[in-house]
Amino acid sequence: MSSIIQLLPDHVANQIAAGEVVQRPASVVKELMENSVDAGSTEIKLVVKDAGKTLIQVIDNGKGMSVTDARLCFERHATSKIRHAEDLFALGTKGFRGEALASIAAIAHVEMKTKQDQDELGTHIVIEGSKFVSQDVAVLPKGTSFSVKNLFFNIPARRNFLKSDTVEFRHVVDEFERVAMAHANIHFVLIHNGSEMFNLPASNTRQRIVNIFGGRTNEKLVPVNETTEIVSINGFVCKPEFAKKNRGEQFFFVNDRFIKSAYLHHAVMAAYEGLLKDGTQPGYYLYLDVPPNTIDINIHPTKTEIKFDDEHALYAILRSAIKHSLGQFNVAPVLDFDRDATLDTPYDYEKKDVGMPTIQVDSTFNPFADDSDDKPAQSFSGGGSRSSSSSSFSSSSSYSSPSFKKDKMPSWESLYNGLNTSTDEIAEISFESEEVTGSLFNDEEVEQTAHKTYQIHKKYIVSPIKSGMVIIDQKRAHQRVLYEQFLANITVQHGSSQQLLFPLTLHFNKSELGIIKEMKESLQNTGFVFDEFSDDHIVVSGLPVNVAESEVSILLEELLNDLEQEVPDTSFSQSDSIAKSMSRSLAVKTGVALTEKEQETMVNALFACKEPGVSPFNKPTFITLSVEDLDKRFAL
């Protein structure tokens, strides 16, 4: 037989590797920004167009590359980060595989400009799909500029599977934030479609977090600081009252590298035990510094998964450090049965001098003195000096001491003087009979309309029909009703709005505000009225009729979470996603008791819908049991 195994060409191998390294535009952003950090840059600018599908450009002022390095960096497994296998256990850089640039060049049009500080001229290279188009000498500033255009131009299937610009840009922002938070000493700038989204000057860690997530974040943060032989922990956790339902602002950094770890997340949740409401998640920004030889980063091409040598000790230290911080800053309650809180000295009196209180008594004061008595009126002072004005009061002044009046006040009987006490007129007054002699409805009609629906376990509504009974899931049924109402308001007509007496101010970070601005028109059609959009908050002056004021913040958070995960391209599908999210948030929950009138309204509204059989999430809303089914159950 002839040999059938052969080596793949480089451009084919690069495309295969690109499937692991480059999954979406955000993957390119991560690789290029980490290379800029490894190059010792102090300023990094990210320019993005169409969420990275058209252009991703990273400009830095790092050390740059020589002519040879500029050409060699696009080869597979070409790296300046490691030399030997042992270097994998002493990594001090972000990248080390040497696959990122080769993978990116295989599926995009890449243009690189680089220059070292000691060189007079730089290098300009153009590559299209792993093919070198040109390499020229150019006049350039110090540093490197990578431009990645037309991502996945030669793999249309991958390009078609990319999400909408909103979703892809959200992933780009996530990667930008992770790199920026890990390196607060570097100046970062993000520009999207010509507008500046972030401008983060070099600062400390706390200021960097506040610059990214908004000014209100500062009051949420509780510092965490713990140093041991195994790990050094620094960073911040959020106060329990600011916990959210989604897992948005949760960051772990190990040796300045963002990671994902369900095990460490469980340690944080254990530290918050008893402090959080059900279904809420705390925010945290934790930086762990461990010896490089105790971790293994070479697990996954994205390098977000890490294996630790001693996970159990790390778990215990992290949980204890967070618990200690929450207790130290009086976030967690502390039980001390020997302490009497009433004996605590207020802070205002802590530095005041202690002295004996002064007491002055007026020896001439007589509480039983009459107006006619020629004695001074009541005047005394305690705890301080007596004023001169109070001592001058006497019987001759306009103010006199109170005296006991001897005149008898009129009795209560005087109120009824002159009233006629005769009962003859009262006897002649006639009253209506208490007995009801007639009825608006016949007895048969009353019997037919009584008890049409029943609620079982505060979850299901049972309604009898001619052939048997209908059992309705109240939560799914209400979701269907609300979904069609919101969809009709968004696409056909404007929803009614209730104006608020005091407008609400809601705070969001920049990326969340960008999503709300894109959905502003659809939200206004449902009944929202927005008065103001600023850099970190919005002002809401009107709400949809069926939205309570207390539910607004939770509703918008869940809506943002749903929209960030998946927002399709067409405007109708956008409206569909908004209607689904709002119906899920506002639908009556399982365990809520409904009156008979509410049950009937729910049933009638459900069967007035276009698709009453399924919820917006394609789950059945009701089932029917016929009399024959019941007969079979009883074996009749």
Give the type of residue at 264. L
Residue 42 has pLDDT above 80, yes or no: yes
CA distance 93 to 95: 6
CB 223 within 8 Å of CB 80: no
Q: What are the Cα distances from residue 431, in Å, to 63, 92, 168, 422, 437?
A: 103, 98, 78, 19, 15
Q: Which residue has the tokens 């911080």?
A: 325
Residue 633 has pLDDT above 70, yes or no: yes
Residue 436 has pLDDT above 70, yes or no: no
Of 31, 178, 192, nearest to 104 (Cα)? 31
Q: What integer pLDDT is reported at residue 387 of this predicted model?
A: 45
Tell me the pLDDT of the chain averaged across its residues: 79
Q: What integer pLDDT is reported at residue 209 of this predicted model?
A: 92
Where does 416-528 show beta strands of DSSP type E?
454-456, 460-465, 468-473, 497-507
> How many residues does the structure list for the chain?
636
Q: Which residues contact 153 (CB under 8 A, 6 or more apart)?
A: 107, 108, 109, 129, 159
Residues 51-91 pLDDT 10s = 899 999 999 999 899 898 888 888 877 666 655 565 555 56
Top pLDDT among 109 and 165 is at 109
Of 174, 189, 144, nearest to 45 (Cα)? 189
Q: What integer pLDDT is reported at residue 441 of this predicted model?
A: 47
CB 331 within 8 Å of CB 222: yes
- pLDDT class for 447, splitting at 50, 70, 90? very low
Q: What integer pLDDT is reported at residue 88 of this predicted model?
A: 57
3-class SS at 19?
Answer: helix
Q: What integer pLDDT is reported at residue 384 of this predicted model?
A: 46
Q: What integer pLDDT is reported at residue 445 of this predicted model?
A: 45
- pLDDT class for 385, splitting at 50, 70, 90? very low
Least confident of 166-180, 447-461, 483-497: 447-461
Residues 220-262 pLDDT 10s = 899 999 999 889 999 999 998 888 877 778 999 998 889 888 8
CA distance 484 to 613: 13
Q: What integer pLDDT is reported at residue 451 of this predicted model?
A: 52
Q: What are the beta bridge partners of residue 188?
A: 44, 200
Q: What integer pLDDT is reported at residue 552 of this predicted model?
A: 84
Residue 377 has pLDDT above 50, yes or no: no
Where does 160-263 show beta strands of DSSP type E?
187-192, 195-200, 221-227, 232-238, 250-254, 257-259
Q: Say how many CA atoms lie within 13 Å of 268 toward its Cβ.
A: 25
Residues 486-544 pLDDT 10s = 888 877 766 678 888 888 888 887 778 877 887 888 888 888 888 888 777 889 888 88
Q: Which residues contact 296 (CB under 8 A, 6 or more apart)?
A: 88, 89, 306, 307
Where does 193-316 show beta strands of DSSP type E?
195-200, 221-227, 232-238, 250-254, 257-259, 284-289, 295-296, 307-308
- Cα angle for residues 399, 401, 402 (degrees, 5° grid): 115
CB 110 within 8 Å of CB 146: yes
CA distance 20 to 302: 8
Where does 94-178 show beta strands of DSSP type E?
109-115, 122-128, 131-138, 143-149
Top pLDDT among 158 and 422 is at 158
Q: Say how many CA atoms lie within 13 Å of 366 toward its Cβ.
A: 12
Residue 481 has pLDDT above 80, yes or no: yes
- pLDDT class for 571, splitting at 50, 70, 90? very low
Q: What integer pLDDT is reported at residue 349 of this predicted model?
A: 67
CA distance 527 to 353: 61
Residue 1 has pLDDT above 70, yes or no: no
Q: Say how many CA atoms lie within 13 Å of 452 toward its Cβ.
A: 16
Question: How much is the average pLDDT of 183-203?
Answer: 92
Q: Which residue has the tokens 């209506």?
A: 432
Residues 253-275 pLDDT 10s = 998 889 888 899 999 999 998 88
Q: Say how many CA atoms lie within 13 Å of 488 toward its Cβ.
A: 9
Per-residue tokens: 292: 């490089």
Q: Which residues contact 97 (CB under 8 A, 6 or more apart)?
A: 77, 79, 301
Q: What integer pLDDT is reported at residue 208 of this predicted model?
A: 93
CA 373 to chain centre: 75
Q: What are the φ/ψ torsions at residue 460 (nearest 5 degrees)? A: -120, 145
CA distance 390 to 152: 92
